[in-house]
Amino acid sequence: MIPGRLDRYVLRRFLGFYGLSLLWLVGLFLLLDFVARLDKFLDARDVLRAAGWSLGGAMLQFYGASVPLIVLQVAPFVTVMGACMALVDLRRWNELYPMMEAGRSLPRILAPVVAFSALLTGVLVAAHDGLAPLAVKARIRVEQTLEGEDDRTAHRLPHVRDGAGNTWSIEGWDPAARVVQGARAAPFRAGDRTWDLVEIPRMAWRAGPDGRGAWIPEGGTLLAPADRPGRADAGAVPAGRPLPTDLAPADIELARLSEELEGLSTANLRRLRDRHPGLRYLTVLLHRRVTYPLANLVLLLVGVPLVLRGQGASLFLSVLAALGVCAGYFVLDTVACDLGGRGVLPAGVATWLATVVFGAAGVTLMDAVRGHAPSAR
């Protein structure tokens, strides 16, 4: 499709309202968050000063990193709101009917808006994988400073699994020195041997003789080998010898970031899912990296016909219609994904349910208004 003058005109009108909707939603989210965190920033002025930050600089970095994350969350809703507001404005000035009299159907009039939404879907998929991790790391850096946490050592880590299925509990992790404090696994499997428990007070990641990395423990305890029932012998973990596990620093980092899953790239999220196959919600999140950006198109297909079918619709009513569509999609998607994370529904069915249902409804509604010629009244 080669864009003509009418296409550019419709696209400009849409982009104007898209920009207004984006500013309104992002500004609202930022304002609410700013009011909620203001006291926390003010109380941490001395901590920020000791860390070499000014109060304004910390707030600027925190909310500068928050903007792209908020945009990624509200982008589908901004699209449908901008499109509905643009259509109401075109109807108000009786501009749709002359376009249709010139031989253009409603789907053809809306083609530039749909094309923009399709392009934006691809941008959102890429941004979730590349931009979001950087923004989350910047936010975490400020939050750690506000809470007075040491940037070097992370505490209260989630459990981490290695390739043999051992579940590791870690009390402290220094990513700079690659040192683990208080590692514990129960049971512990290595090759064809299984122990009830292994406890290592400290171990460091070092390059082995073959050039590959390995954990070098500083002693530790192996308790009650399970292949000798009835024994309660406690053996020592050989100090200075590589620990037989494929657990890597990257796995610990992924576990540390797992509470901020937006900060994981798709590859790292997939690796985390492979390490923890029992956590079904990780599979759901992988699917949503695609289905959520697709809401740009799905909500557009549903929201636009609702506005076109109304009579005497005002700008206010179009916004309400768009918000209603967004709310319905959000509720269905949230409930279905929750069921998928719990294993009640397959992950693929759960994550694609709202997309398929609203997409089918949108195609049906768009077909119903194909020959409809809306006017201002």
Distance of alpha carbon 374 from alpha carbon 110, whole angstroms: 14
pLDDT at residue 313, rounded to an integer: 46
Question: How many residues make up the chain in this entry?
Answer: 377
pTM: 0.71
Distance of alpha carbon 147 from alpha carbon 257, whole angstroms: 17
Q: What percent of the chain has pLDDT over 70?
A: 86
Other residues' Cβ atoms within 10 Å of the Cβ of residue 250? 11
Distance of alpha carbon 79 from alpha carbon 268, whole angstroms: 29
Q: What percent of the chain has pLDDT over 90?
A: 34
Q: Is a pLDDT exceeding 60 seen at residue 25?
A: yes
Give the pLDDT mean for 351-375: 80
Name the token pair of 264.
């994981």
Give the pLDDT mean for 331-341: 91
Vertex 220 angle, CA 215 and 224, to 5°: 115
pLDDT at residue 319, rounded to an integer: 64
Distance set, CA 113 to CA 18, 37, 107, 317 (Å): 10, 37, 10, 20
Distance set, CA 281 to CA 263, 286, 325 (Å): 16, 9, 25
Vertex 50 angle, CA 253 and 44, to 5°: 80
Higher pLDDT: 159 or 62? It is 62
Q: pLDDT tens digit string along 287-305? A: 999 999 999 899 998 888 8
Which three-class secondary structure state does DSSP give residue 312?
coil
Of 216-230, 240-254, 284-298, 315-329, give the range with the top mean pLDDT: 284-298
Name the token pair of 18.
């898209």
Higher pLDDT: 166 or 154? It is 166
Higher pLDDT: 46 or 2? It is 46
pLDDT at residue 163, rounded to an integer: 83
Q: pLDDT tens digit string along 187-223? A: 898 888 888 889 999 999 987 666 678 999 998 888 7
Exposure pattern of 340-361 as b/e (b: 16+ CB <10 Å)?
bbeeebebeebbbbbbebbbeb
Exposure pattern of 184-212 as b/e (b: 16+ CB <10 Å)?
bbebbbeeeeebeebbbbbbebeeeeeee
pLDDT at residue 133, rounded to an integer: 86
Residue with tokens 């959000």: 330
pLDDT at residue 193, rounded to an integer: 84
Other residues' Cβ atoms within 10 Å of the Cβ of residue 180? 25
Is the dihedral angle over the CA atoms 162, 349, 74, 300 positive or is it negative? Answer: positive
Which three-class secondary structure state does DSSP give residue 216?
strand
